[in-house]
Amino acid sequence: MAIQCDLAVLGGGIAGYTAAIRAAQAGKKVVIIEKEKLGGTCLHKGCIPSKALLRSAEVYSTLLKAGTFGIKVADGAVSLDFDGVQQRKEQTVEQLYKGLQHLMRKNGITIVSGAGRVIGPSIFSPRSGSVAVELPDGEMETVVPSNLIIATGSRPRTLPDLPADGTTIMTSDDALRMERLPASILIVGGGVIGVEWASMLIDFGVQVTLAEAASRLLPGEDAEASAELTKQLRRRGVRILTGIQLKLDTYSFNEGQASIEADTADGKVILNAEKLLVSIGRQANVEGIGLENTDVRVEKGVIKVNGFFQTTEPHIYAIGDVNGGLQLAHAAAHEGLVAVDHLLGGRQQAPDHSRIPRAIYSRPEIASIGLTEDEARKRGHEVKVGKIPFQAIGKALVLGETEGFAKVIADSKTNDIIGVHMIGPHATDLLSEASLAMLLDAAPWEAGQVIHPHPTLSEALGEAMLAVDGKSIAF
């Protein structure tokens, strides 16, 4: 017998399970089909495990400079137990995994474990959208929903001429499973994943080279934030090469060392490292899920959707990385809520994707929302900018983390906030206030009226809002 339901979700990552919970809250019968573990990439291979490692690296780095806080650590008393680091990471993931399983039971959501493929019209349904599931024991199950949400996520993109072997040439998935730290590593790609791993590994004591083909790190972020992060990473010992082109056909591995040639503006260089980490983005999981049995359109490797994440088959939606939008966990979760609200008939206005915050968990952290200053000018905005360095903020001095700044970009004609960019301590935790201000269409002077407790890091954003009109008190 086929499983009949109101909504089937193909993929149990953060996009899929968020959508499932929202539909279940509305009284719908919901089935999630997941071939690996509930929680997907974010919980098991991305956000959570990588941030757990970053936290351990931060603590280790802090202990090594404890003397700057007046705390004496005897020689040799601080050491790194990487097995313990990995155990803590796994414990964190497992605790969240158990909590997620509880949420599924609490909301009455059925989990079908297996590889799902969308099928066309059949004896079960006159239209495509049912899902045939191959169970772990080889048996088949069919799920027949009124609506289908595809949330199959993405996987690390690889270089065709430099395929990952999981040990010497790694993706971020492989790196999370390292049993020991290498003496040196070459990170290919200076985007979000690359800079987070560079920041983490340099704190763990690994010799890091970071190579980026573009003219600067984080080419999608504000140029000033990129420059500040580059300065701080170099100060900590990361070798950063930008505008670099690797000659993949020169790769070799001998006596425990990988070697590859590269062209730079200053000529040819030879890069050597014990391991290579390829972090050149992610690609959508659109293969092998039966899309050829539907009229769902795939363009440039991603599923085409409208503003409500509806595909070219109205009863089928696609959310998260698989639709080619912002590859961020919170963006994927929000898309799940929007899609379910729409298919239930409750949402009539498409969300504004420019108001999705972005977070990078390097040290220092980077957090942003809206347009960069360069983007704003290219779009014809007459901008006014407020900028406050963290060194002007008392709490940053107390923490011993004064690098970076908070920056607010506004349109000088409309006085709308069109971009906020921060680099500094706990920047990712501070950004939500800017996100709320943009949601409520607050002007900088209005956001600047918020009373921030003192001393806190949040004062940086409040002062930056006031600085847009030259009224900052702190700087």
- Residues involved in catalysis: 454
Strand locations in 13-76 (E): 30-34
Contacts 24+ apart (CB under 8 A), 48-52: 48/92, 48/93, 48/96, 49/89, 49/90, 49/92, 49/93, 49/176, 50/172, 50/176, 50/196, 50/197, 50/200, 50/361, 51/361, 52/88, 52/89, 52/92, 52/93
What's the CA gap between 71 and 63, in Å, rounded? Answer: 9
Amino acid sitting at position 209 = T
Contact 465/447 with Cβ under 8 angstroms? yes
Per-residue burial over 29-62, b if 16 or more Cβ lie within 10 Å, else e, is bbbbbbbebbbbbbbbbbbbbbbbbbbbbeebbb
What's the CA gap between 288 and 290, in Å, rounded? Answer: 6
Look up residue 214 and give its two tokens. Answer: 């573009």
- Full 3-state SS string of 153-216: CEEECCECCECCCCCCEECHHHHHCCCCCCCEEEEECCCHHHHHHHHHHHHCCCEEEEEECCCC
What's the CA gap between 289 and 119, in Å, rounded? Answer: 9
Contact 291/301 with Cβ under 8 angstroms? no
For the beta carbon of residue 422, count every other beta carbon within 10 angstroms.
Answer: 31
User: Helix or strand or coil: residue 349?
Assistant: coil
What's the CA gap between 433 and 462, in Å, rounded? Answer: 9
Number of alpha carbons in the 13 Å side-chain half-sphere of residue 253: 9
Backbone angles phi, psi at 210, to 5 degrees: -115, 115
Backbone angles phi, psi at 211, to 5 degrees: -115, 125
Query: What distance lies between CA 447 and its chain's CA centroid?
Result: 27
User: Helix or strand or coil: residue 258?
Assistant: strand
Query: What distance lies between CA 314 and its chain's CA centroid?
Result: 29
Beta bridge partners of 398: none
Beta-carbon contacts of 409 under 8 Å, excluding residues fewer than 6 positions away, are 370, 371, 372, 373, 376, 383, 384, 385, 417, 418, 419, 420, 421
Look up residue 10 and give its two tokens. Answer: 């193909």
